[in-house]
Amino acid sequence: MLVRRVSIQEWQRFVEELPRYTFFQLPIWAQAYEKTYPGWKIATQLFTFDDGLQVLVPLVEKTIVFGLKILDSLPEGGYGGLLWNRKPSETQIGQIVKHLVTGRTLLFRLYHDPLDWEALKCLTKHGFQAKEGFTHIINLDKPEVLWNNLSRQARQNILRAQRHGLEVVEGDLATLELHYYKMYQASSKRWGIKKNRMIPLSFLQNLMQIGGRSTRLFFAEKQGEKIGGSIELYGKRESFKIFAAFYYEYQNLRPNDFLDWELLKNAYQRGDVIRNFGSSLELPGVERYKESMGARRLDYRYFIYASPVWKTFQKLEQVYSQR
């Protein structure tokens, strides 16, 4: 087995040759993360086996002290995982894990593609714990089928927005800061997200600068006034809705429903077969909304390896936080 780190260009070429991939499996997310958060570095590795199997592991890493490291594939719930030119055996997955999880590995969080997570169930045999996660997805059928899959209330909301003349416009870096991030801050406060858990503006700026046409910002406008927005991430045959926000005072115009419907149609026209609505921040109302738009809940597992040293550190941290 040959193991080596790869360049951004090699990573990009490897992923683009796959029949389908998520946005997060491109280098863009990792590049933006490295650029935004000090201490995190891209550490993506390619494993080549004697039988021709190649497995790419998208990674970022952070060195804590004494060479001890935290590995993420990929952070903040991005679907990195393992990418391959054909499915590896459990033995080969074990060899990859043995190389990555060493005495210096404090923590390794592996978020795989939720449509294919069962391929990595064997990680539990190698010290990983399977954690429960879920997302909401829509299989992109014909527009008339998508419309029929909406709840009655969602269809009424979209028609209401259309009667009020809402339009979709594309944003850029200037409107990201001037308009969208203010919406995001207001929405986060409304959802009860603490300030230190909010995505920094710099990360979104880096994401758009690096991502090109794979990372796009859209707004719902009412007579030229931006009242709702969404950042869209595009993989191959898949679109991902992330960081949607709107001004609450315009809720009666249903900008979120309208924007989601227009972007659903856009994804279908692009040739996407899946639209992923992402997690719901543990907010039941957000889950109900996604299901009203025709999305179905998809349960999956992600995998975490925590070393004995890390577990001890976490226990001590809990003890001191309670004092």
Q: Is residue 312 over pLDDT 80?
A: no
Task: Give the pLDDT of residue 85.
Answer: 94
3-state secondary structure the chain: CEEEECCHHHHHHHHHCCCCECHHHCCHHHHHHHHHCCCEEECCEEEECCCCCEEEECCEEEECCCCCEEEEECCCCCCCCCEECCCCCHHHHHHHHHHHCCCCEEEEEECCCCCCHHHHHHHHHHCCEEEEEEEEEEECCCHHHHHHHCCHHHHHHHHHHHHCCCEEEECCHHHHHHHHHHHHHHHHHHHCCCHHHCCCHHHHHHHHHHHHHHEEEEEEEECCEEEEEEEEEECECEEEEEEEEECHHHHHHCHHHHHHHHHHHHHHHHCCCEEEEECCCCCHHHHHHHHHCCCEEEEEEEEEEECHHHHHHHHHHHHHHCC
> What residues have CB less than 8 Å from 254, skipping those under 6 apart?
157, 158, 160, 161
Read off the pLDDT band of 323 (50, 70, 90): low
Provide CATH code, domain 141-272.
3.40.630.30
Q: Is residue 47 over pLDDT 70?
A: yes
Tens-digit pLDDT profile for residues 198-228: 899 999 999 999 999 999 999 999 999 999 9
Give the pTM. 0.91
Read off the pLDDT band of 320 (50, 70, 90): low
Tens-digit pLDDT profile for residues 268-291: 999 999 999 988 767 788 899 999
Structure-token pair, residue 222 = 């009412």
Q: Is residue 321 over pLDDT 80?
A: no
Tens-digit pLDDT profile for residues 84-99: 999 999 999 999 999 9
What fold, for 2-133+300-321? Aminopeptidase (3.40.630)
Q: Which residue has the tokens 């527009």?
A: 143
Tens-digit pLDDT profile for residues 6-19: 999 999 999 999 99
Read off the pLDDT band of 191 (50, 70, 90): confident
Is residue 273 within 8 Å of 181, Cβ to Cβ? Answer: no
From 90-94, 187-191, 302-306, 310-314, the region with the lowest mean pLDDT: 310-314
Read off the pLDDT band of 132 (50, 70, 90): very high
Other residues' Cβ atoms within 10 Å of the Cβ of residue 205: 17
Decide whether 2-133+300-321 matches 141-272 in CATH topology. yes
Task: Give the pLDDT of residue 244.
Answer: 85
Task: Give the pLDDT of residue 170.
Answer: 97
Chain mean position to CA 75: 9
Q: Is residue 316 over pLDDT 80?
A: no
Find, among 170, 204, 207, 202, the residue nearest to 26 by Cα. 207
Is residue 70 within 8 Å of 102, Cβ to Cβ? Answer: no
For residues 56-74, give the mean pLDDT. 94
Tens-digit pLDDT profile for residues 103-127: 999 999 999 999 999 999 999 999 9
Domain boundaries along the sequence of the chain: 2-133+300-321, 141-272
Task: Give the pLDDT of residue 313.
Answer: 72
Average pLDDT, the chain: 92
For residues 70-93, give the mean pLDDT. 93
For residues 183-201, give the mean pLDDT. 86
